[in-house]
Amino acid sequence: MSTETLTIGKALNLGLRRAMEDDAKVVLMGEDIGKLGGVFRITDGLQKDFGDARVVDTPLAEAGILGTAVGLAMRGYRPVCEIQFDGFVFPAYNQIVTQVAKIHARSKGRLPMPIVIRIPFGGGIGAVEHHSESPEAYFAHTAGLKVVAVSTPSDAYWGIQQAITHPDPIVFLEPKRRYWEKGEVDTDATPDPLFASRVLRGGDDVTVLAYGPMVKTALQAAEAAAEEGRSLEVVDLRTLSPLDLEPVYASVRRTGRCVVVHEAPTTLGLGAEIAARVTETCFHSLEAPVLRVGGYDTPYPPSKLEEEYLPDLDRVLDAVDRSLGF
């Protein structure tokens, strides 16, 4: 067993490196990912070691990154596209939704699209507009795409490798404000499946679901609740499309209560889908309606207000109180 303590950012870097070593067809493409190593340094040192044909500094055009990735995938390559910030994915949205997502079906499986779209997502870093968004619902709503969100260094290290070897296109969401969070990574382990949620903390009173940057917040809330004698079960969804809700159903059948937490605007966010499914499936076990804690239905605010916008520990605990109050 080889265990290292790594940040999420470094774990991604090592995961990318290992994927590139394992398969010469893996090609990284994005803006500033070469000499600079990416604005978050996730690709640091990779161009130096693998060359500029495998770590491609692209022209500044997101649709171009994704559109050429389609052609490369048709030629047997496995492109890993870095979108610099979440808000910049929209120029590429057409290629992702009308092309990347549909070509496998359109071609009756003759043209696989093993493309990974890495997006640093979510707020909390004090950035200017378009640098702090949560676009996951757009992609999860699109048939043909799969969407995952990592929250720990271990998942980051393994998840990026699993995403790259997976045959379908994957939107790979990286919680940018957690890039510097540290954790243990066993680089020899057998990783959990990519498309599986995971109970991170057991509890009996309320099931709390979160993914990406909100996982840490949910765990902090559970810690705080425990001091008041309340036992929260925290589930890291990990996979947003397909959703893996069987462990959630099992949990809710025990606790009778469910709170979904995410940063994205609440209306028509993933929480809405999860609430509907949990209600359909666990109706007779529920003691309270499934509650959502999300961003407001506003554009992401100026950074001086983002702490107001983002769900925090107190808003999660407030929802837990409301759930228990039914």
Partner 1 sequence: MSALSQTTEVVDPVPGADAPHLPGQPDLVQLLTPEGERVEHPEYSLDVTDDELRSLYRDLALVRRWDVEATALQRQGELGIWASLLGQEAAQVGAGRALAADDMAFPTYREHGVAWTRGVDPLHVISLFRGVDQGGWDPVATKFNLYTVVIGAQTLHATGYAMGLQRDGAESATLAFLGDGATSQGEVNEAMIWAATFSAPVVFFCQNNQYAISVPIERQSRVPLFRRAAGFGFPGVRVDGNDVLAVLAVTRAALAAARDGQGPTFIEAFTYRMGAHTTSDDPTRYRLASELEEWKLRDPIARLKAYLSRSGIADADFFTSVDAEGDQLAVRIRQGTLEMPDPAGTEIFDHVYAEQTPELARQREEFVAYHASFEGAES
- Residue among 184 and 246 whose Cβ is closer to partner 1: 246
- Residue among 147 and 225 whose Cβ is closer to partner 1: 147
Least Å distance between CB 281 and partner 1? 12
Least Å distance between CB 95 and partner 1? 6
Least Å distance between CB 62 and partner 1? 9
131 included as an active-site residue: yes
- Residue among 195 and 211 whose Cβ is closer to partner 1: 195
- Residue among 58 and 266 whose Cβ is closer to partner 1: 58
**Among the options 130, 131, 141, 166, which is catalytic?**
131
Least Å distance between CB 164 and partner 1? 14
CA pair distance 70, 98, nearest whole angstrom:
11
- Residue among 103 and 149 whose Cβ is closer to partner 1: 103
Least Å distance between CB 68 and partner 1? 3
- Residue among 91 and 301 whose Cβ is closer to partner 1: 91
In three state form, how does the secondary structure of the chain look? CCEEEEEHHHHHHHHHHHHHHHCCCEEEEECCCCCCCCCCCCCCCHHHHHCCCCEEECCCCHHHHHHHHHHHHHCCCEEEEECCCHHHCHHHHHHHHHHHCCHHHHCCCCCCCCCEEEEEECCCCCCCCCCCCCCHHHHHCCCCCEEEECCCHHHHHHHHHHHHHCCCCEEEEEEHHHCCCEEEEECCCCCCCCCCCEEEECCCCEEEEECCCHHHHHHHHHHHHHHCCCCEEEEECCEEECECCHHHHHHHHHHCCEEEEEEEECCCCHHHHHHHHHHHHHHHHCCCCCEEEEECCCCCCCHHHHHHHCCCHHHHHHHHHHHHCC
Least Å distance between CB 207 and partner 1? 20
Residues at the interface with partner 1 (CB under 8 A): 53, 58-59, 61, 63-64, 66-77, 91, 94-95, 98-99, 103-112, 114, 143-144, 146, 166-168, 195, 241-244
Closest CA to 174 of 137, 140, 231, 213: 213
Q: Which residues are known to be catalytic?
A: 131
